[in-house]
Structure 1
Amino acid sequence: MTQPATQKLQRLDGTPVRVLVVDDEANLTELLSMALRYEGWEVRAAGTGTAAVKAARDFQPDAVVLDMMLPDFDGMEVLRRMRADDANVPVLFLTAKDAVEDRVAGLTAGGDDYVTKPFSLEEVVARLRALMRRTAVVADESSSVLVVGDLTMDEDSHEVTRAGMEINLTATEFELLRYLMRNPKRVLSKAQILDRVWNYDFGGQANVVELYISYLRKKIDAGRAPMIHTMRGVGYVLKPAE
């Protein structure tokens, strides 16, 4: 089986896109999972709301396909609980063809898009691609541009902008920001950053990371909603500004 001709999506760190499929119809879940795996994506499935919330915490998906009607509680409650853990994960609702109120309620509650049953697998894949590109935590594998929220980096030209404003970085600041942007919403320890950005262990001089994080903050976050966050005792994380 050959890969589709469409451009392959992947996470910014180069790993496969992750999608959580939530539906209590086993046959439908299996079909959807097969179609998404054919895209090269990593897929996990859940058949209840409880299982879906747990899977979202463990799996940390880049997108969720979520049925409105589930055995234990409805899709809007699943969405509410998921968003409490990850406010940015895009959700594509599956709704009954005649349930207009479901579609309106789902989008009002914070769902990003919906498809009605019965649907084509191609439509679901296309909608998911659009949603993940919109949330800017994935990229085309051939692209040299990294995007997290309103922060953009062109790895080829070394141009960096936030909200359209150009930001000038030193070579080391650029490499540090690139590492953070390739791992959005992932907490990175000082040891990981030292190893990846400086390529050797500073021993007790891990404060070089703190120093360069402070440099980046002055250029990236100054006067704006912060994107670089300190997780005390753990490391640092870059995520879209809220």
Structure 2
Amino acid sequence: MSTVLLIEDEAALGMIVKDSLEVRGFAVQYAADGEQGLRLFRAGPPDIVVADVMMPKLDGFSLAEQIRAENQTVPILFLTARSQTADVVRGFELGGNDYLKKPFSMDELIVRINAQLSRRPAPAPPTAGPLPIGRYHFDYPKQKLYLDGQAADLSNREAELLKRLYDQRNQVLERGTVLRELWGDDSFFNGRSLDVFITRLRRYVKDDPQVQILNIRGIGYKLIV
């Protein structure tokens, strides 16, 4: 049974969603504001976080930022009436995995939740050792990127994306293929999320000018090493 941490300040909506999820076999922890939600999260990480954006005490974006400082892997799905592109991009930059606009149907929410849960990566097979990327060494199973002995911790999706770029290094990695494999489809919102993750990876490798992640317009990306 998967555990959902639901954080929604509209009490009526929160209880409707909670009851509907429980009827469908989920275990639900419910919080009425961001601070309570963060306390519940720290008490025991759920399988997925479903959080409103506009909440008292601690808004959804600030909540996601704090969660990501402690946990890089749990999926975060935002519920919000705000659908401006800048808001969507900010949510992905702070570590959100999906974005559902209010009002929404329960069927759509269930599909989104199951999609995120199904994308949790299987344990990585052992490799011969860290993969060389210029001056960096990428430990894919441990999701760490090393430079001069210092390690940067990658999220699951960052590690999966970097591994695909490495496997296709000096060749084009097709954008559509990545979106279908890691995000489930090539929708606009998922495309913006992928752009955010590419930007993050560029920041990780910025200290070696010989390593570049190039945009190949209309096709995808290329890791140059």
Please give the residue correspondences for 1:158-173 in structure 2 after superposition, counting only pairs within 5 Å. Answer: 162=125
Aligned position for 2:103: 118
1:23 aligns with 2:8: yes
Percent of aligned pairs with the same residue? 34
Please give the residue correspondences for 1:90-239 in structure 2 after superposition, counting only pairs within 5 Å. Answer: 90-96=75-81, 98-136=83-121, 147-148=122-123, 151=124, 162=125, 220=126, 222-224=128-130, 225=139, 227=141
Secondary structure of the residue aligned to 1:135 is: coil
Secondary structure of the residue aligned to 2:91 is: helix
Secondary structure of the residue aligned to 2:6 is: strand
RMSD over aligned Cα, in angstroms? 2.4
- TM score, norm. by length of structure 1: 0.52
Secondary structure of the residue aligned to 1:131 is: helix
Aligned position for 2:210: none
* Letter matched to residue 37 of structure 1: E
Contact map agreement 1:68 1:102 (CA 8 A) in 2? no
CA drift at 1:221? 5.3
CA drift at 1:98? 4.9
Secondary structure of the residue aligned to 1:123 is: helix
CA drift at 1:84? 1.8
Contact map agreement 2:68 2:94 (CA 8 A) in 1? no
- TM score, norm. by length of structure 2: 0.56
Q: 1:79 aligns with which of 53, 60, 64?
A: 64
What is the alpha-carbon distance in structure 1 between the residues aligned to residue 69 and residue 95 of structure 2?
Answer: 12
* Larger CA Rg, structure 1 vs 2: 1
Contact map agreement 1:97 1:118 (CA 8 A) in 2? no
CA drift at 1:135? 2.0
Contact map agreement 1:92 1:112 (CA 8 A) in 2? yes
CA drift at 1:104? 2.5
What is the alpha-carbon distance in structure 2 between the residues aligned to residue 101 and residue 226 of structure 1?
Answer: 32
Secondary structure of the residue aligned to 2:119 is: helix
CA drift at 1:102? 2.4
What is the alpha-carbon distance in structure 1 between the residues aligned to residue 60 and residue 15 of structure 2?
Answer: 19
Q: 1:34 aligns with which of 15, 19, 36?
A: 19
What are structure 1's unaligned runs of at least 5 residues?
Answer: 1-15, 137-146, 152-161, 163-219, 229-238
Structure 1 residue ranges, 4+ long, deviating more than 3 angstroms after superposition = 97-101, 239-242
Aligned position for 2:180: none
Aligned residues: 139
* Letter matched to residue 46 of structure 1: A
Aligned position for 1:57: 42
* Letter matched to residue 67 of structure 2: M
Aligned position for 2:31: 46
